Chains A and B, each alone.
Chain A
Amino acid sequence: MNHKQSKLVIGSALGLAALAAAIDHTRHPLPDPELQQYEQAGSYSEDEAPCGLDMPCGLGNPCSLDDEAAPCGLD
């Protein structure tokens, strides 16, 4: 595969991925502005957002199937 062919394949793959991300994005509601305000202010309490999209898991964070072993998203 020469340089031009490689470029074409990679460009197509990245373009396809961008299209897929855009389709996925349009299938979900936009974030709640109120929630965003909390998030930016860093004022989540454990009760309000125990495992938000941005705080996947960690010590004592209840983002798991059970307490002992947490298959969380931190990888």
Chain B
Amino acid sequence: MASSAQQTHPETSVVLLSLLASTGLALYLFAIFGIRQAALFLTGIGLGVSLLHAAFGFSSVWRNFIHRRESAGIRAQLALFMLTSILFFPIFGHIFPQLSVTPAIGPVGISVLTGAFLFGIGMELGNGCGSGTLWTVGGGHVNMLVVLVFFIIGSVIGTAHLQWWLDLPSYGKISLIDSFGWLPALLLQLLLLLALYWLVRFLEQRRHGRIKPVRQARLERSFVNRLVFGPWPLSWGVAGLLLFSLLTLLIAGHPWSITFAYGLWGAKIWNALGGDIATLSYWSSGYPARALNSSVLADVTSIMNFGIILGAVLAAALAGSFAPAKKLNMGLILSAAAGGLLLGYGARLAFGCNIGGLYSGIVSGSVHGWLWLVAGFCGTIAGVYLRSLVGLDRTLVKKS
């Protein structure tokens, strides 16, 4: 997570290249698809900058809590969930009828339970989550390229098996907002999130006798200097993600999502290599079929992901931390591959990753988001044990 003030040495050439690429792609999207697609790409850049500058991750944050009861990262995540719920619930409750938005609601069943559990294990083996994989790749972490490649492969395999998983028992889609109305649902949700907030805070206090703050003390560097060059305190990360999540909802019409694009990229690559992915039921109808038969630049999730990667490249170059030196060995590569496969497969089964399934699910008032949280955290505990078993904690650099 964000550290104290330090001298930064921006990589000017990388800054210029990323700015050039971002501007060029934004203008092209505007010319071909219109303002909406360009705005979503720029929103993705904002998310990428926020994620990298605040080092806002899930895998190391959850691991640190399990290992050492350090809860600042989890409290920042819970604060983000609470603040986003306060903004999103009234919108999904249609108090602004002119807004056309669709919540991220998934079925509450074995598929989500299994998928989130596998995803939790994958997060620890791969040392990254859905969003973390993107911003660490953008930050130039070579080992995360391996995770991303296998994340994509796992996503495609997940689409091939999804129907089988969906035939297993499920309670169907359950929306808290539809069940109770947006205000009672919001109060219930805030109560649950606050209870979790105080629980993790209590556990940290009991272990360490102190609480590490989410908001850091004033530092020597100016606000603007820190905003541009980073690192950000977690509270700034929460603010950035809140702002850009809201923009995503208002512009795209649905909450932030990431991993559909991975499956789509894999399916397109498979097709380009001569495979016939369209014979799979998942890719033969509805939105997936349309996305497969359109330009990748027409897919909202894909262009937002491109934005996140480019935003992270820009932020890392500004911070002078782009493409750090890495020690790679076969153990690290194998664990990254296994982690990536589990992340991709799990995310497909769970109706999303830590962003599309967990964050967007919960802030949409979907019970599947809460199931994701429980199953994903259990999977993370199993993943932390697996890391110890294979000696990963000695080789993996703490990141995301």
Question: B-contacting residues of A (Cβ < 8 Å)?
Answer: 1-3, 6-7, 9-10, 13-14, 18, 20-21, 23-25, 27-28, 30-31, 36, 39-40, 42, 51-59, 61-65, 68-75
Contacts and interface: CB of A to CB of B under 8 A. Distances in A.
Contact of B260 (A25, A56, A64): A56
B356 interface: yes
Contact of A21 (B259, B260, B296, B300): B296
A1 to B, nearest CB: 5
Interface in B279-302: 281-282, 285-288, 290-291, 293-301
A75 B281 contact: no
B120 interface: no
A27 B298 CA distance: 13
Contacts, number: 169
Nearest to B302: A21
Contacts of A3: 323-325
A27 to B, nearest CB: 8
Contacts of B5: none
B113 interface: no
Nearest to A36: B34
B323 A75 contact: no
Interface residues of B, number: 79
Contact of B166 (A2, A13, A23, A69): A69
Contacts of B355: 75
B324 A10 contact: no
A74 B300 contact: no
Contact of B351 (A42, A59, A68, A75): A75
Interface stretch (B51-59, B181-189, B224-232, B249-257): B249-257
Contact of B300 (A2, A54, A68): A54
B325 A63 contact: no
B221 interface: no
Contact of A9 (B145, B173, B264, B353): B145
Given A20-B269, A58-B103, A75-B353, A53 B309 contact: no
B245 to A, nearest CB: 14
Contact of A63 (B103, B258, B268, B286): B286
A13 B322 CA distance: 14
Nearest to A50: B286
B328 A1 contact: yes
A6 B257 contact: no
Contact of A31 (B166, B272, B298): B298
Contacts of B260: 56, 73-75
